[in-house]
Amino acid sequence: METTPTLPDNPSFNVLNIPTSDQPRLVIVGGGFGGIQLAKSLRGKGFQVVLLDRHNYHTFQPLLYQVATAGLEPDSIAGPLRRMMQSTKDFYFRLANVNRIQTEERILETSLGQLRYDYLVIATGSRTNYFGQEENFGKAFPLKQVPQALDLRSQMLQSFEKAVISSDLNERKELMNFVIVGGGPTGVEVAGALGELKNHVLPSDYPDLDFRQMNIYLVEGNTRILAGMSEKSGEKALRYLKRFSVNTLLERTVTSFDGHQVVLSDSTEIPCQTVVWAAGVRGNVFQGLPEEAIDRGRIKVDSYNKVAGLDRVYALGDVAKMESEDFPQGHPMLAPVAIQQGQLLAKNLKREQKGKTQIPFQYKDKGSMATIGRHRAVVDIGKIRIGGIMGWYIWMFVHLWSIIGFRNKLVVFWNWVWNYFTYDRGTRLIIRPYIPRDNVEKG
Ligand SMILES: Cc1cc2nc3c(=O)[nH]c(=O)nc-3n(C[C@H](O)[C@H](O)[C@H](O)COP(=O)(O)OP(=O)(O)OC[C@H]3O[C@@H](n4cnc5c(N)ncnc54)[C@H](O)[C@@H]3O)c2cc1C
C-alpha cells in the first residue's frame, strides 16, 4: 500500500493533545450527519481520525421542532459524539470551535489552539439565513440547534403563563399570536404542532384562557407551501393546516419584527411576541478559505467533494456546493445527501491511497416528507404521492429508523405512543426560562 507522507508534528500545533501516529491525520470538522457517517466509514481504513465539533453531541435536526413544541425531550434527539465512536482505534474527539484555516500550512485555528492536518473534511452544515436582515429579526427564534428549540419551548409556555394573568387585551393578543416565517417542511411542521397544542393540549392546561384567541400564522413568500415537494403534496398540506386553523399567508414576506409586532410586505400588522424563523439556511463556512472556493455561502466542491483549488481539503453535506446536471444550484441541504457523501468520500479516500480511480457522487433521492400534526403527513417518493394516515406512518417509521442510537429510538417511540393515547405532552416544562435577547446565531 502506498503511504501518504505526513507533515512533521510540531508540538506547538498539538495543544489539543492528539498523539502522533504513523497514519495520516484526517481532521473532520462537524459531527453532523455527514461528519459522523464519514468517521464511521473510515474505521480501520488507515487514517488517524480527529473529529472536532463545538457541541459534544450530534443533533437530529428533523425532530427539533418537536422539542420546541414540547413533544420530545432534547436528549432524545441528541447523542454524545464520544459514544458513537467508542473503542475506535486512533480516533480522537475534541470539543472545539474551528475559527479559521491556514491552507498553506495545513493548520486549523480552533478555540483550543492550532491543529495540523494531513487531510481535512469540512462538514460544518448550515446556519440560519436572514437574507442580510439580521438586525430586523434578532428577536425571532431560529430553529437549528437544541438550545434554540429549548428557548422557543420556554417562550411559548411563558407566553401562556403571562396571558393567563394579563388583563390588557392587546398584550393578550400579542402573547397568543404565533407567526412562523417560511412554508418549507420546518415551518409547516412547527405550524402543525402548534395547531395540535391549541386543539388538544393547551385548553386543559389553561382553562381560564379562550383558545379561540390563539392564532397561528404561517407566512410564505412563494405562491405555495412546501415548494420543494410536489404540487399535490403542497395543496394537501395546506388543507391539513386549515383543519388546525392555521392561517397560511402566501405571497407575502415579513419585513420587520420588533418583539411586539410583525409587519408583512403588504403592510399587514400582526401583534405578536413569538416569531419562528424557518425561512432558510446557508452554508456555515469558517474563515481562511480562498474567496474563489465560496459560492453563495457554500463551499464549491467537485463531484468527489474536493474543495476547488485546495489540496487534500474536502467539504460535504449542507456546507458543500456540488453542482451537477441534475442539481445546477448544488444538491439540496438534506440529511441523506450528507450521509451519502460521507459514505462515498470514505471509499474514495481509501481508493486514493491504493492508487485507484475515484467514484463521482450520484445522489440517490429517497424522497421528501412533512408531517402536520397527528394522522397527517405528505410524502413524495419518486412519482408516488402519499398523504393522510399512511403518510404519517411512513413519516414516523423513517424518522424512528434514522435517529442515531437505540436508546434514542426507544425514547422517541415511547414518547410518541404516550402522546398519541393521552394527548399529554409531558415536556411542557420551563426548565430554563427564556430571557429576551438577540437570537441571531453568531459564527
Ligand atoms: C429544523 C430542521 C429540520 C430538518 N428536517 C429535515 C428532514 O426532515 N429531512 C432531511 O433530510 N433533512 C432535514 N433537515 C436538514 C438536515 O438536518 C441537514 O441537511 C443535515 O443536518 C446536514 O448534515 P451536515 O452533516 O452537513 O451538517 P449538520 O448535521 O448540521 O452538522 C454540522 C455540525 O458541525 C458543527 N459545526 C459547525 N460549525 C462548526 C465549527 N466552526 N467548529 C466546530 N464545529 C462546527 C455543528 O455543531 C454540527 O454538529 C432539517 C434541518 C433543520 C434545521
CATH of residue 400: 3.50.50.100
Question: Cα 372 vs. chain centroid, distance in angstroms?
Answer: 18
- Whole-number mean pLDDT of the chain? 94
Atom 15 (ligand 1) nearest CA: 334
Ligand 1 and 35: CB distance under 6 A: yes
- pTM of structure: 0.95
Nearest CA among 389, 387, 413 for reference residue 400: 413
273/402 same-domain check: yes
Q: Which of 27, 57, 98, 124 has most ligand 1 atoms within 8 Å of its beta carbon, as the pocket-test mutant? A: 124
Residue 436 in domain: no
Distance 160 CA to ligand 1 centre (A): 31
Q: Are residues 160 and 275 in the same domain?
A: yes
Question: Does residue 391 share a domain with residue 267?
Answer: yes
Residues 151 and 238 in one domain: yes
244 with 193, same domain? yes
In this structure, are 181 and 142 located in the same domain? yes
Residue 222 lies in a domain: yes
Å from CA of 275 to ligand 1 middle: 22
pLDDT in tens, 357-403: 999 999 999 899 999 988 999 999 999 999 999 999 999 999 999 99
Q: Does 332 lie in the same domain as 259?
A: no
Q: Is the CB of 54 under 6 A from ligand 1?
A: yes
CA 327 – CA 381 distance, rounded (Å): 18
The H-assigned helical ranges of 121-218 are 146-165, 169-176, 185-196, 202-205
Q: Do 242 and 390 belong together in one domain?
A: yes
Degrees to nearest 5, angle at CA 189 with 183 and 193:
130
Residues 255 and 390 placed together within one structural domain of the fold: yes
Residue with CA closest to ligand 1 atom 19:
334
pLDDT tens digits for range 25-49: 999 999 999 999 999 999 999 999 9
Is residue 90 one of the residues assigned to a domain? no
Q: Give residue 374's pLDDT.
A: 86
The string of pLDDT tens digits covering residues 291-306 is 999 999 999 999 999 9
- Looking at the domain assignment, is residue 142 inside a domain? yes
Answer yes or no: is 366 within a domain. Answer: no
Kindly state whether residue 288 falls inside one of the protein's structural domains: yes
Nearest to 143 by CA among 134, 130, 152, 135: 152
Query: pLDDT grade, residue 9 (50/70/90)?
Result: low
Whether residue 119 is found in the same domain as residue 200: no
Q: 205 is written with which cell numbers? A: 392546561
Nearest to 183 by CA among 245, 89, 120, 252: 252
CA of 341 to the centre of ligand 1 (A): 14
Using the predicted structure, report yes or no on whether residue 340 has a pLDDT greater than 50: yes
Q: pLDDT at position 424, please?
A: 79
Ligand 1 centroid–CA 410 distance in Å is 22
Q: Which of 61, 97, 226, 285 is the best mutation target for the ligand 1 pocket, counting ligand atoms within 8 Å of the beta carbon and taking the most?
A: 61
Residue 2: the pLDDT is: 46
Domain that includes residue 238, residue range: 135-279+374-422
Tell me how far the alpha carbon of residue 209 lies from the centroid of ligand 1, in angstroms. Answer: 38
Total of domains in the chain: 2
Q: Whose CA is nearest to atom 23 of ligand 1?
A: 33
* Within a domain: 432: no
Closest ligand 1 atom to the C-alpha of 368?
Answer: 9
| Cβ–ligand 1 contact at 338 (below 6 Å) | yes
> What integer pLDDT is reported at residue 41 of this predicted model?
97
Question: Same domain for 378 and 245?
Answer: yes
Task: Give the atom of ligand 1 at the shortest distance from the alpha carbon of 37.
Answer: 25
CATH of the domain at 105: 3.50.50.60
Q: Is residue 1's pLDDT more than 50?
A: no
293: DSSP letter: G
Residue linked to cell 457554500: 298
Q: Are 152 and 266 within one domain?
A: yes
- Residue bearing the CA closest to ligand 1, atom 37: 124
Q: Report whether residue 24 contacts ligand 1, using a CB cutoff of 6 Å.
A: no
Enumerate the β-bridge partners of residue 274: 178
Strands 215-220 and 177-181, sheet pairing:
parallel
Mean per-residue pLDDT, 85-102: 95
Task: Answer whether residue 6 is part of any domain.
Answer: no
CA distance 217 to 200: 18
